Structure 1
Amino acid sequence: MAYLDNIRTFVRVYELGSMSAAARDLRISAAVASSRISQLEGHLGIRLFQRTTRLLNPTEQGNTFYKGASKILEAVEAAEADISDITRSPRGTLHVAAPIGIAQRFIAPAVPTFREAYPLINIRLRSSDRKLDLAAEGLDAAFFLGVPEDSNLRIRKITDCPRVLCASPDYIKNHGMPTSSDELRTDMHDCLNLRYPGAPEFQWPLQTANGVKRVTVSGPFESDHGEILTSWALDGQGIVLKAVFEISEHLAKGRLVPVLVDEPPLPIQLACLYMHRRRQDPKARLFIDFMVDHIQASMPK
């Protein structure tokens, strides 16, 4: 097991490009991660990485060893999955990610129920509205709003989520009710945008009498946290584009009111992403099936 742990640590260091990042991902200290790499290098009699105080780059031998090492780990995972299937006792740890709103409203509340049914499966849930790299971050599954860019991932559609443009009554009182999406392109209205590092230019896809119009919007505030945008909208700071399930209570109580109802935004797809080999793991399959059923039953109509 020690040798396998060393290989697993090497693979994560290689994929994340950082000793400290790999250590955090594996929940060990950076010193332990460094020691494991040194032990592996000693066993192989080669240098796997060129290290400086700031950079860590794989050597040619490191690149070659990674190809074989990743296959070793895949083979071990497949063997463990086969045993779980035979014994019907899935076990191990699942690394799962979801947008903050999905994680808070659907995934996190259902995790204890899933754990009661499968007590040998541990869940590591990461909630983030930024774009995630499943392979680089070691995720077994990621719930996703939108259309994924990576064609190498498998996707399981859960539902289409209606969306709405909305603002607080105070914002409408101070700025007026927009009568056309063209007003969003000007400085007449402030738009609250979800933006994260590497995000493309922000556009709101609206359904009009002449087809879909993609409106480039801007405003004084942006955040990579969807709940922050909601709080700003409630505070009268601008117009926000939100999935209805995220703000249904605020709409029902009049704290937020729909705007541009004649040019509503396109619905957004909610799906679960996974790499093909992950779907073969019984514990991943069970978790995805469980959460898809739960979300579909819980999503406000």
Structure 2
Amino acid sequence: MSYLDNIRTFVRVYDLGNMSAAARDQRISPAVASARISQLEGHLGVRLFQRTTRRLSPTEQGRIFYGGACAVLEAVETAEAEIGNVTENPRGRLHVAAPLGLGRRLIAPHVPDFAAQYPLVDIRLRLSDRVLDLTAEGLDIAFFLGQPADSSLKIRKIADCPRVLCASPAYLAARGHPRSGAEIERGQHNCLNLRFPGATEFQWTLVTPEGPRRFDVRGRFESDDGDVLTRWALDGAGIALKPVFEVADHLASGALVAVCAETPPQPIQMGCLYTHRRHQDPKARLFMDFASARIAAVVGG
């Protein structure tokens, strides 16, 4: 096993606090991760972690070594980036995250084209609608919809993404076709909400003649997967607030119908997050340029 691989595994175990989670992150087995840590401890002659059946915590020596280990990995990444700049042939792994709908429809289909242009770059794409921590989860770039809370990260705006309130014809025939946010409130419609731990949006903001206005919404169903909300809307379960690009085909076919068309939802910001040092990495810059151009071509920009 290479010493550098051992250091990488140590840093991920330290960051995640769990051997199995670090092994999944590194795409190795827990046994291999444990062997790498043991080999590193043998080389250094110290114990880096205290292990019990329930938890794993760094020793004092482990905390000291962590700072130097991060510096070593950063120096290697910087050297690789400098080579990429000189040779115009970037290399290495790029860890990218995106919300489910955005990732499935606007990023994943283009990854093979990017890989064909830059064959020495390996893409690791993680899709999730929950809020991700770039540093803790070892991510290089995270695409997003909305307003990120972490001000320490750099933001590259891609587009203002139009959104739509939509429901199936069957639902509207049974429950009525609301023309405004006030009608949604008064009509006690079943609003399908995207919710996950830490979610703060409990209202829908619509663009009215008087300007943006928030409306309280209620619903019996919630999910942390935006595609589940689309499925429920198609099945006639309620009204969903969706980015237009996610439901454009259903709107075109008539399977979903826009409601409150005269007071549509406020567009949502779409962009990507990265740390300052990642902007110096040519493969990160190239992927942001590549994906942003294709996303903007679909949603506008």
Alignment TM class, shorter chain as reference: over 0.9
Equivalent-residue separation in structure 2 for 1:180 and 1:191 (angstroms): 14
Structure 1 residue 177 corresponds to structure 2 residue 177 = yes
Show the counterpart of 1:204: 204
Task: Give the direction of change, closer, same or farther, for the CA distance of 1:148–1:262 in structure 2 (3 Å limit).
Answer: same
Q: How does 1:119-198 map to 2 (within 5 A)?
A: 119-185=119-185, 188-198=188-198
The reply to whether residue 299 of structure 1 matches residue 293 of structure 2 is: no
Equivalent positions of 1:142-291 (< 5 A) are 142-185=142-185, 188-291=188-291
Equivalent residue number for residue 58 of structure 2: 58
Root-mean-square deviation over aligned CA pairs: 1.8
Tell me, in whole angstroms, the C-alpha distance in 1 between the residues paired with 2:253 and 2:35: 57
Partner secondary structure for residue 273 of structure 1: strand
The correspondence of residues 113-124 of structure 1 with structure 2, limited to 5 A, is 113-124=113-124
Q: What do residues 256-280 of structure 1 show as CA deviations (whole Å, max 9, x unaligned)?
A: 1111223321100110111111121
Whether the 8 Å CA contact 1:175–1:188 is kept in 2: the answer is no
The alpha-carbon deviation at position 182 of structure 1 amounts to 3.4
How much has 1:300 moved relative to structure 2?
Answer: 6.7
Q: Which runs of 5+ in 2 are unaligned?
A: none
Give distance in 1, aligned partners of 2:174 and 2:183: 15
Letter in 1 for 2:60: E
Q: What is the DSSP-based 3-state SS (H/G/I as helix, E as strand, rest coil) of the residue aligned with 1:125?
A: strand
Q: Give 1:87-98 correspondences, 5 Å limit.
A: 87-98=87-98
Distance 2:207 2:60 in 1: 53
Q: Is residue 201–residue 216 contact of structure 1 (8 Å, CA) maintained in 2?
A: no
- Confirm or deny: 8 A CA contact 2:162 2:299 kept in the other structure: no
CA distance in 2, matches of 1:61, 1:181: 59
Aligned AA (2:219): G
Q: What is the distance in 1 between the residues matched to 2:96 and 2:180?
A: 40
Q: CA deviation at 1:183?
A: 4.3
Identity of aligned residues (%): 66
How far 1:187 moved relative to its partner? 6.9
TM-score, length basis structure 1: 0.94
Question: Given the two structures, how large is their TM-score scaled by the length of structure 2?
Answer: 0.94
Secondary structure, aligned partner of 1:23: helix
Residue in 2 that maps onto 1:101 = 101
Q: Distance in 2 between matches of 1:274 and 1:77?
A: 15
Aligned partners of 1:300, 1:190: CA distance in 2, in Å?
30
Cα deviation, residue 185, structure 1: 4.0
- Segments of 5+ residues of structure 1 without an aligned counterpart are none
Distance 1:68-1:216 versus aligned 2 partners, 3 A rule:
farther
CA distance in 1, matches of 2:176, 2:216: 20
Deviation, 1:212, is 2.3
> 2:110 — aligned with what?
110
Q: Deviations over 1:19-49 (max 9, x none)?
A: 0000011111111111211222222233222
SS of residue paired to 1:245: helix
Aligned CA distance change for structure 1 residues 135 and 290 (closer, same or farther; 3 Å): same
**1:53-79 deviation line (CA, Å, top 9, x unaligned):** 111122233222212211111111001
1:71 aligned residue? 71
* Matched letter for residue 82 of structure 2: D
Give the 3-state SS of the residue equivalent to 1:212 in structure 2.
strand
